[in-house]
Amino acid sequence: MNSPELKQPRHSRASGRVTIVDVARLARVSPMTVSRALKTPTLVQLEARERITAAIKQLGYVPNQAASTLASAKSQVIGVIVPSLSNSVFVETLTGIRDSLNQHGYKFLIGESGYSPDKESQLITTYLAHAPDGFLLSGIEQQDALREQLAAHNVPAVRMFDINPDGGDVAVGFSHEEAGYSIARHLIERGYHRPGFLGAQLDPRMMKRRHGFRRALAEAGLDDTIEVLTPTPSTVELGTKMLGQILQQTPDCDAVFCCNDDLALGVLFECQRRGLSVPSQMAIAGFNDLPWSAYANPGITTIVTPRYEIGFTAAQLLIKMLRREAVDKTSVDLGFRLAIRSST
């Protein structure tokens, strides 16, 4: 059936913005009927729906999400803040979040904190103006003032990429300390006596990996102070430089645990440039199991992290909280896996 030709009225606002009142006037129905047709079309007679559809198309009407949020007290929007949007680790987590929220009709706003607690707090303040239903945040180290802010707005949050064994905040991730510990134990069992640690960015989760690594070395009676640390974000180029630094200060270092796989690849390239045999003269271990890690020559031993599952599970938990459903665990440990390859 062809839509009826409608005579277009004047806009009801001086700004020229098309409103639901304009649509109702053109379709010769009440604004309430237009609202009902948009939300529950089956409750509106077919003829009226056709007139409303024609009016919306003719006027170019776009529903006001802010007004809808005020009316329902729900925005169907989740705020998501991750440390970096250029790092594939977090892109995979965002994919898990997207797939999870799509099942429930939620959209999400993405913010990049740059590993800065202050920027994260600023982003949360900005997003609160859009009345999000909840937040997915990175790490469990948020400031108390931020927690109080979320509580004051009655907005729940789930933390990602870490676990919280002491309870409190709902968190989804794995133990970074145990991951670092497992790498050190592996190197010790392979017979390496002078392992070192290469750490970049120096965010809280990286420092937990360092702590676990050093703990295992200390337990074995080995020197746990061989390391190079820098607040600079990790890159392949940085890995090449950091190997030179650790060999300069500790010439007999025979293995390195790199806080990220991109550093580990840089170390591998630098070993090849210097003619150091991997793994007989220098063992290399990384973290995160980025897609190319298994295909380097030699393949890089690394920690496999459940990045997609963290995003998916965290979003599912937040939905349960929004529905006032019981959350069985406040700390969900998805674990990690040590992938042993030729570099060690």
**CATH for 176-304?**
3.40.50.2300
**pLDDT tens per residue across span 34-88:** 888 887 777 889 899 899 989 988 888 876 554 554 444 567 899 999 999 988 8
**pLDDT tens per residue across span 82-113:** 999 988 899 999 999 999 999 999 999 999 99
**pLDDT tens per residue across span 121-131:** 999 989 988 88
Q: Which fold has domain 1-63?
A: 434 Repressor (Amino-terminal Domain) (1.10.260)
Options 3.30.420.40, 3.40.1350.10, 3.40.50.2300, 3.50.50.60; which CATH number does 74-174+308-334 get?
3.40.50.2300
Round to whole Å and give the CA distance between 69 and 67. Answer: 5
pLDDT mean over 162-184: 93
Average pLDDT in the chain: 90
State phi, psi for 132 to the nearest 5 degrees: -65, 150
DSSP per-residue string spanning 107-147:
EEEEEE-TT-HHHHHHHHHHHHTT--SEEEEESS---HHHH
Query: What are the angstrom distances between the C-alpha of 193 and each of 186, 226, 260, 283?
Result: 12, 11, 22, 11
- pLDDT > 70? residue 277: yes
| Domain limits, the chain | 1-63, 74-174+308-334, 176-304
Query: What are the angstrom distances between the C-alpha of 287 and each of 96, 140, 254, 293, 294?
Result: 20, 20, 18, 9, 12
74-174+308-334 matches 176-304 in fold? yes
Amino acid at 263: L
**pLDDT tens per residue across span 211-261:** 999 999 999 999 999 999 999 999 999 999 999 999 999 999 999 999 999
Round to whole Å and give the CA distance between 22 and 342. Answer: 69
**259 close to 206: Cβ distance less than 8 angstroms:** yes
Look up residue 186 and give its two tokens.
Answer: 């592996």
Look up residue 151 and give its two tokens.
Answer: 């509580």
Please tell me the predicted confidence (pLDDT) of residue 261: 98
Dmax of the chain from CA atoms?
Answer: 87
